[in-house]
Amino acid sequence: MLRLIRLEMKKQKLGWFYRGTVIATILMAGFIFLIVFTEGKGDPAFGSFADALSTVGLLCRAVFIVFASVLLSKLIIEEYRNKTISLLFTYPIERKKLIMAKMLLVLALTFGAMLISTFIICTSFLALNSHFQFVSGKPEAGVLLHTGIQLLIQTLSAAGLSLIPLFFGMRKKSVPTTIVSSILIGGLISSNNQGFSLGTNVTVPLILGVIGTLVAYLSFRNVDKNDIN
């Protein structure tokens, strides 16, 4: 499987994804700092370090779920639409393994991008906070550790959740459907209802992440039996 993933990475031109990750990270960092700089001292944007870091993680997850849908579209949906997947299926390898390799590549790239982007923005926020005091006081090691573990779990869960658009996209081999469904999912996890958000909870995203992976599997479970259409 690892060999298939490496071969897929060599075949696909992923420079756009890496560049997009850098640009998105810069824009998200700018957005967070714009919020804290425009808020007054008497009404801070974040009540605590945990709130600030959780918001950063939430924003990164929502953005890269959409990135994942673009990856799924390019690696799987477009190959079905262009019928280039037929050539791939002539290889003496199970079709299911080929699709799974693509899916795992999307999962790994999405998780890595989310994790790195979240780490960079959170670290930048903490560094600038020591000078500008967006959040009063100094961050406690225990709070940072607890929040960091939460962010790691939520990021892993969101990576699994980002595979759900594959299910919808594969139904009609539609790129727009894949991307629109990812936007809806990103909006769902970032929605806030009287202080409760799916994205800031740990258990719910973890369950949804597992469900997302299973749903993605359902989208190609019969690929060995079905004709390309």
How far is 119 from 108, CA to CA, in rounded Å? 16
* Residue-level pLDDT at 191: 66
How far is 8 from 67, CA to CA, in rounded Å? 18
76-128, pLDDT tens digit by residue? 888 888 877 777 767 777 878 888 888 899 999 999 999 999 999 999 998 88
pLDDT band at residue 201 using 50, 70 and 90 as cut-offs:
low
Number of Cβ atoms within 10 Å of the Cβ of 152: 15
More confident residue, 199 or 3: 3
Q: What is the mean pLDDT of the segment spanning 119-147? A: 86
* Residue-level pLDDT at 24: 95
Task: Give the percent of the chain with pLDDT over 90.
Answer: 24
* Residue-level pLDDT at 100: 85
Q: pTM here?
A: 0.86
Q: What is the mean pLDDT of the segment spanning 200-223? A: 74
* Residue-level pLDDT at 207: 79
